[in-house]
């Protein structure tokens, strides 16, 4: 292990370019386990959520911050966790992550997590900015629109919602998949799809947009803002069809976006992160990360971090945790990424393939300066 590389990576202040806030309440032991998985199903009979890479990582890396030895039993960990007020737990774990800029997606189950102002109060000295979710804005305006006015109302609302935002996000991977028609939908297509959706709402359906025409409309409206546009790709909860979330399916759409100058950021991407690396190499406006996968692969995450640096130009790779809920995930995203990066770069330095200065420079690029290039803001 290169001491110089290890010290530089440990000292690096990160930009977490895609994250959510922390749980608003205090979960039970079983609820904590449920929050450490992307599955929305009950655990199999006779099994424990904590017998997983992420469960072991919590016991290894988070327990010492609660005054326990590393690898303490999960029951002891939960008991120590219960002794801390939620705000103190958040400050302790979030502070140890070493992040000084958080770009926060506010569009998922916002009533279960902290609002932006409260989250900002628990990361003093850090900059907190919003990432606006396209589908959430569309669902907020549909009840006050007609089939003929929905797109106009959406664009007006998006303009207001994104005025101070760092970027936008789409979950079209969840709502449909990436095998959509890459063309911008026509006004008549949008009006017809809006009419179908409004009829469903009148019949009592929930305001959840799944029509591929409306999802495409929202996606192209996001492109038109010029803000960086994030798309969840790959691994996620069972609400998506992983077979349809390979970012290679976006190739034709990416080519259509290219002349417009909007950056496309592929989020997380596992197990398609090598495919994302290809797209980031092939197209100047495509970036990616391996957040989420790093948390959930735990001790095996060094391999994922190394694979993210195989093909893509180093200026096209970003850091994120994609943590939602337990502050343990915000911390583990950072600790595991740093450990994996240090191990990978140290090996290449020891093999004589990289110099120490180059290793430190690339770590800094991925950890913070690339995000500053994509999202703006001064890098200090």
Q: pLDDT truncated to tens, each residue of the chain (380 aa)?
A: 889 999 999 999 999 999 999 998 888 888 888 888 877 788 777 778 888 999 999 999 999 999 999 999 999 999 999 999 999 999 999 999 999 999 999 887 778 899 999 999 999 999 999 999 999 999 999 999 999 999 999 999 999 999 999 999 999 999 999 999 999 999 999 999 999 999 999 999 999 999 999 999 999 999 999 999 999 999 888 888 999 999 999 999 999 999 999 999 999 999 999 999 999 999 999 999 999 999 999 999 999 999 999 999 999 999 999 999 999 999 999 999 999 999 999 999 999 999 999 999 999 999 999 999 999 975 54
SS3 for 14?
strand
Burial 88-121 (b: 16+ CB within 10 A, else e): ebbbbbbbbbbbbbbbbbbbeebeebbeeeebbe
Write down the pLDDT at residue 380: 45
- State how far the Cα of 268 lies from the Cα of 289, in Å rounded to an integer: 5
Pair 54, 321: CB distance under 8 Å: no
DSSP assigned state of 45:
T
Write down the pLDDT at residue 39: 78
Write down the pLDDT at residue 378: 58
Structure-block tokens of residue 50? 């904590």
Domain boundaries, the chain: 3-45+86-375
Type and span of the H or E element at 10: helix 3-11
Ramachandran assignment for 44, one of left (phi > 0), alpha (psi -120 to 50 degrees), beta (any other): beta
Write down the pLDDT at residue 358: 98
> Under 8 Å CB-to-CB from 3, ≥6 apart: which residues?
none
φ, ψ of residue 169 in degrees (nearest 5)? -140, 145
Structure-block tokens of residue 260? 């417009």
Pair 240, 174: CB distance under 8 Å: yes
Sign of CA dihedral 342, 348, 350, 356: negative
DSSP assigned state of 201:
H
3-45+86-375 topology per CATH: TIM Barrel (3.20.20)
Count other C-beta atoms under 10 Å from residue 151's C-beta: 22
């Amino acid at each position: 292990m290169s001491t110089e590389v290890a010290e530089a990576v440990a000292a690096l202040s990160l930009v977490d370019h895609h994250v959510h806030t922390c749980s608003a309440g205090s979960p039970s032991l079983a609820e904590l386990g449920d929050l450490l998985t992307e599955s929305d199903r009950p655990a199999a009979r006779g099994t424990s959520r904590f017998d997983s890479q992420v469960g072991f990582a919590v016991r290894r890396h988070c327990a010492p911050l609660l005054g326990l030895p590393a690898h303490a039993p999960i029951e002891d960990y939960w008991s120590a966790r219960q002794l801390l007020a939620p705000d103190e737990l958040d400050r302790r774990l979030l502070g140890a992550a070493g992040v000084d800029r958080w770009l926060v997606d506010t569009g998922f189950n916002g009533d279960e997590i902290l609002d932006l102002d409260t989250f900002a109060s628990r990361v003093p000295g850090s900059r907190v900015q919003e990432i606006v979710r396209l589908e959430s804005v569309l669902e907020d305006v549909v009840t006050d629109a007609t089939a003929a006015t929905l797109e106009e109302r959406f664009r007006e609302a998006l303009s207001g919602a994104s005025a101070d935002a760092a970027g936008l996000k789409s979950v079209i991977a969840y709502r449909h998949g990436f095998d959509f028609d890459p063309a911008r939908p026509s006004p008549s297509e949008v009006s017809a799809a809006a009419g179908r959706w409004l009829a469903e709402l009148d019949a009592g359906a929930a305001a959840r947009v799944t029509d591929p025409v409306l999802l495409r409309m929202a996606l192209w409206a996001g492109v038109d803002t010029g803000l960086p546009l994030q798309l969840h790709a790959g691994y996620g909860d069972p609400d998506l069809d992983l077979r349809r979330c390979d970012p290679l399916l976006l190739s034709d759409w990416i080519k259509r976006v290219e002349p417009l100058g909007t950056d496309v950021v592929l989020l997380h991407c596992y197990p398609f992160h090598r495919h994302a690396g290809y797209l980031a190499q092939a197209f100047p406006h495509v970036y990616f990360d391996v957040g989420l996968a790093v948390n959930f692969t735990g001790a095996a995450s060094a391999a994922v971090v190394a694979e993210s640096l195989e093909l893509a130009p180093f200026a096209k790779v970003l850091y994120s945790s994609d943590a939602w809920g337990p502050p343990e995930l915000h911390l583990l995203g950072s600790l595991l990424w740093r450990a994996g990066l240090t191990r990978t770069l140290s090996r290449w330095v020891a093999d004589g393939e990289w110099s120490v200065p180059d290793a430190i420079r690339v770590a800094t690029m991925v950890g913070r300066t690339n995000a500053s290039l994509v999202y703006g803001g001064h890098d200090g």
